Every structure is written in C-alpha cells, then in structure tokens.
Amino acid sequence: MPVRKETPRLEDYLEAIYHLVQEKGYASSVDVSDRLGVKPPTVTSMVKKLAKLGYLVHEPYRGMRLTDDGASLARSVVSRHTVISEFLQMIGVGEKVAYQDTEGIEHHIQPVTFRKIERLVEFLRKNPDCLSAIRDYIER
C-alpha cells in the first residue's frame, strides 16, 4: 500500500485554492493568504512549489488554477475532510472539536483506513438504528 507523499501544508493550499475557485471562479494569492492566515510571500513560495509539482498553473496578476492532478488531489482532501468530520459528529463529537480534529486527521490518515471509515459512515447513514445504538453506548 503506497504511503501519501504530500505534506499537510501542501494539501491545505490545494484545498483552499479549490474552495476559492468553487466560490469565486478564481483564486488570487491575496485570497489564499487571507484564507490560510499566512503572509503573501509565504503564499508566493508555495504557489511556485505547487506549480513546479504540476498541481497548478499560476499567471502573475491573473490568478491561478488547479491542473487536473491538482484538482484531483484537492477533491481527495475535501472528501477526507467531509467524511472524517461527519464520522466524528455521528459519534457525538461537537462540531467545533470535530473540525479541529478533522484538520489533523485528514492529512495523516492512510488510504486504507480512510476507505474503512468512509464505508462505516455510509453504513451508518443507511442504518440509523445502528447509529443510535452506537451513540447510546458511547454516551453511557
């Protein structure tokens, strides 16, 4: 089973750019800086790295767009985030704590583990009685 090679920070940038493009139709360095709470020179450095790795195309003063590989990886990060957050909330973790924990877990979870959690979430969605029994047990 291959181990993921992308860093959490690289994934955060791709995820931020992906969301910005979905929301606004484009992503600028200033937008990314604001979204991630980092200084513009830090964004410039990472954008160059992402472009070199083939994850995005950057046109100075015109913004950036994800390549197919970049969009695919960004969608994967968004999917992991969504599923892990949903799972944590399903088992009774509050939204704020679930968000904080998801931010750490989503970058370090191995694909095989994620697939198991994804399948469990799918099962629990389809079987609310099982979810209710699990919640009752956990809350004791």
Which tens digits make up the pLDDT trace of 99-128? 999 998 998 899 999 999 999 999 999 999
- 121: containing domain: 78-139
Co-location of 60 and 95 in the same domain: no
Domains held by the chain: number: 2
The pLDDT tens digits of the residues spanning 19-44 come to 999 999 889 999 999 999 999 999 99
Percent of the chain with pLDDT over 70: 96
Closest CA to 49 of 105, 6, 92: 6
pLDDT band at 5; cut points 50, 70, 90: low
- Write down the pLDDT at residue 140: 85
Q: Are 86 and 121 in contact (CB under 8 A)?
A: yes
Q: Is 60 exceeded by the pLDDT of residue 1? A: no
Strands (E), 26-115: 56-59, 63-66
The single residue listed with the structure tokens 């800086």 is 33
Asked if 45 and 97 sit in the same domain, the reply is no
Q: Quote the pTM value.
A: 0.84
Would residue 98 count as lying in a domain?
A: yes
pLDDT of residue 60: 79
